[in-house]
Structure 1
Amino acid sequence: MKICFKLNGQGVKVDVDPLQPLLHTLREQLGMTSPKQGCGEGECGSCSIIMDNQLVNTCLIPTIQAKGTALVTLEGLRNTPKGLCVIDALLEAKGVQCGFCSPAMVLAIYHLLDNRVCANITPTDQQIREALAGNLCRCTGYAMIVEAAKIAARKGEGIW
C-alpha cells in the first residue's frame, strides 16, 4: 500500500505493508537510524519520534497510522537551532554515554521545551522527569539528562 506523510518537513511516499511497524518503515525504507529498536513493546522509548506534535513510540504504531501526518526524527532536528540547543546541552551536562537512548532523549527534551506554556519558565525537575518517563537510560541515572533539559531551557531562552 502507498502511504504518504511528511518526514522532517519533506513529503514522502512509501509502498509498505500498512501494518508494518512505523519503526521498520523509518529505519529500513527511509534510512532514519535515530529511532532504535529496543524493547518492541513501547516500554523503553528508544524508538521515539514526534508525530503531529506528540512524542510517540514507533514500535507500536502501524505505518498506516502515519498517513497524512507530520513526523520528526533526530535527523530533522539536529541541524536546527532548537535541536542543536538540546544536543549541546546534553553534551555539556555529560548526559550522553553509550548513546543508544540519546536520540529519543533529545526528542523528549525538545518536545517538553517546545510545548511549554511560558517559554521563560524553566521546567521543574518533576516536569522534566515526567517528560522523560517513557525513555529508559541504563547508563546515566538520569541526573545528567535532567540537568541537560535545564541547560537547554536556560540557553535556548530566545529560541523557544
Structure 2
Amino acid sequence: MKIECTIDGKALSLSVNSNKPLSLILMEDVGIKSINSHCRGNACGNCIVLLNDEATLSCVIPAFRLKDATVKTFDSYQKTRLYRDIERAYKATGNTPCPNCYASKTLIIESILQEMTNSTRTRTFGRNNLSLPGTQNEDNSLNKEAIIQELSLNTCQCMDMAELLQIVEIALTYRRRKRVRRH
C-alpha cells in the first residue's frame, strides 16, 4: 500500500503493508532510531509520537491510519521552542522522567499543553476515552482527571502522578506567558 504522510516535517510517500505498525515504519522505513518499542503492542507507552498533534502509541497504529497524517517524533520535537517549556518545567520541579520514558512522557505533556492552549480543540483523552472539552473545568481550574488519563498512556512508574501534574502546570504557565507576549 502506498501512503502519503508527513513525518518530522518531511512529506513522504511510503510503500508498506497496510497493517504494519507505525513504530516499525518509523524504525525500519524512515530510520528513526529513538523510537523505543519493546512491548510489541502491549501499550507500555514508550513509543509515543504526536499523530496530528495528539499523543499516540505508535506500536498500535496501523499504516493505513497514516494517510495524509502528520507524525512528529521526539527527534524533531526536541528541536522546537515548545520543548523548552517542558524542559524548564522539569528543571523547576527537579523531576525528570527516566531515560526509558523521557521522550514519551515529554510528548504526552506537549499534547496536553496543546489541548490546554488551543481552546477551539476538543478531543478524547486517554485509554478510557474520557471525552472532555479541553482540559479545564468550568471554574477554569485544571481538569486533573483528564490530564491523568492522558499521562497514563505511558505506564513507566519512575514518577508519581502528582509530580507529573506539577510539571504540566508549570509548563502551562510558561506556555501561556509566551502566548500573551505574542498578542
| Partner in structure 2 of residue 93 of structure 1 | 93
- TM-score, normalising length from structure 2? 0.74
* Aligned ranges 1:110-129 → 2 under 5 Å: 110-116=110-116, 117=119, 123-129=142-148
Decide which structure has the larger Cα Rg and report it.
2
Task: Note the C-alpha offset of 1:75.
Answer: 1.8
Q: Contact between 2:49 and 2:72, CA under 8 Å: does it hold in 1?
A: yes
How far apart in 2 are the matches of 1:72 and 1:97? 20
Between the aligned partners of 1:62 and 1:127, the Cα distance in structure 2 is 26
> Against the structure 1 CA distance between its residues 15 and 108, is the aligned structure 2 distance closer, same or farther, given a 3 Å change threshold?
same
| C-alpha RMSD of the superposition | 2.5
User: Take 2:66 and 2:56, find their aligned partners in 1: how far apart are those partners?
Assistant: 11
Q: Is the 8 A contact 1:94 1:144 kept in 2?
A: no
Q: Tell me the secondary structure at the aligned position of residue 59 of structure 1.
A: helix
How many pairs were matched up? 160
Residues 92 and 31 from structure 1, CA distance in 2 versus in 1: closer, same or farther, beyond 3 angstroms?
A: farther
CA change 1:95–1:127 in 2 (3 A) is farther
Q: Secondary structure at the match of 1:147?
A: helix
Q: After TM superposition, which residue ranges in structure 1, 4 or more long, deviate above 4 angstroms?
A: 118-122
Q: Which runs of 5+ in 2 are unaligned?
A: 120-133
Distance 1:33 1:90 in 2: 24
Question: Which residue does 1:26 correspond to in 2?
Answer: 26
Whether the 8 Å contact between 1:122 and 1:150 is mirrored in structure 2 is no
The answer for the alignment partner of 2:61 in structure 1 is 61
Q: 1:144 maps to which residue?
A: 163
| 1:6 and 2:6 correspond | yes
Percent identity among equivalent residues? 22
Contact 1:48 1:55 in 2 (8 A): yes
